Amino acid sequence: MKKIMHWVLAAILTIIGTMVLTSYTSYDAPVVPTDEVEAQLQRMTLREKVGQLFFVRPEYLDTTIHYDQVSSVDSSAVDIREIKLQSVNATMLSVNEKYPVGGIILYAHNIEDEAQLAAFISQIRVLNGSPLLCIDEEGGRVARISNNPNFQVEKFDSISAIGATGDPLNAYHCGNTIGTYLKKYGFDIDFAPVADVNTNPENIIIGARAFSDDPEVAAPMVVNYLQGLKDAGVTGCIKHFPGHGDTKADTHFGYAQSLKTWEQMKGCEMITFKAGIQWGVQLIMTAHIATPNITGSHTPATMSPLILQDKLRGELGYQNIIITDAMKMGAITQQYTNAEAVMGTLLAGADVMVNPQNFVEAFDFLVKAVQDGRITEQRIDQSVRRVLKLKKQIGR
């Protein structure tokens, strides 16, 4: 009897595996009537619209925390990891009345245990702007929950170890497992999987976070991970466009570049990103890397119209949300002011800005830039529509 059950289970897994492996275009997003989005957009004030373009960590709503002007992964006058902000306080509520936000991103230091997380998320849910709940839970070393000993969830050694198995069903299992517990805890978006192809052995930031150094191996892994998240009810996000895997430097701390041409990228990095786009991915995160042999400049991809509009939207046909990597990273702040970064990013074609160097300042600047005519409200509306559509698809 046990042998029969084993065979039955094996057959079921084989069928599921076949379905998963061939699911490159299987994303079936809920249909959101255009008139619903437009009706909501017309009811929104300019400040409400601008708020939708910012996804920030909760500390950004607490203006008693003062940040310095030197950016790194978490640099600030006070290390916010030591503050361990784990609930919504009165200052945050007061700031949020005037500064709505489209999304809140929780980091490891914001999460203590299940009871605290549940209480925190319930408080975030009623914030002005109806923020989506986001997290970086890739599996491996970037996992805010599974690396917390207070959570009893399945852990994964690394994404590269999954890729090394050569079986995309293992990527599906990883995405579905992570998606299942994220959904249980109340998250909407997982900033995963990494779609970079780790071709540079000197890479210090991607490494084992990527499935493979072979795009033909990585591509089916990426889409099956996405499918696993989707089947669990969580929206995935592939990163870091146009590909962080061939760099040596870390954009958290400063300038990084890829010297590849676009033709070279089409034969490598774009294989994984195109697979994700064909599948129907709802968010693509930009890299702050420069691509001088494509753009002819040292402008970060996040702020390059050529990369975001001509290549990603035009040539690759991607029409959903373009979201930035954290704007407080050194690759941005060492070259641009807060205002320059906000304006440059939006004019390049990004929809959502993550963690600007100073959220309140960036918000006020953008509102005034619209009022002064430096950027049109129609441009703001383009991005807000995409965010509202995703929220309706998710049911928020």
What structural domains does the chain harbor?
Answer: 2-394 (3.20.20.300)
What pairs with residue 25 in β-bridges?
A: none
Let me know: does 206 contact 251? Beta carbons within 8 Å: no
Report pLDDT for 14.
36
In three-state secondary structure terms, 317 is coil
**Closest-CA residue to 100 (of 394, 388, 393):** 388
pTM comes to 0.90
The whole-angstrom separation of Cα 324 and Cα 348 is 11
Report pLDDT for 79.
65
Report pLDDT for 285.
98
| CB-based burial label for 26 (10 Å; 0-12, 13-18, 19+) | middle
Let me know: does 235 contact 188? Beta carbons within 8 Å: yes
- Which pLDDT tens digits describe the chain residue by residue (396 residues)? 433 333 333 334 334 443 444 445 556 667 787 899 999 999 999 999 999 999 999 999 999 987 543 333 444 445 666 778 999 999 999 999 999 999 999 999 999 999 999 999 999 999 999 999 999 999 999 999 999 999 999 999 999 999 999 999 999 999 999 999 999 999 999 999 999 998 876 665 788 999 999 999 999 999 999 999 999 999 999 999 999 877 655 677 677 889 999 999 999 999 999 999 999 999 999 999 999 999 999 999 999 999 999 999 999 999 999 999 999 998 899 999 999 999 999 999 999 999 999 999 999 999 999 999 999 999 999 999 999 999 999 998
Report pLDDT for 11.
37
Report pLDDT for 248.
54
Token pair for residue 365?
């600047």
Let me know: does 342 contact 362? Beta carbons within 8 Å: yes
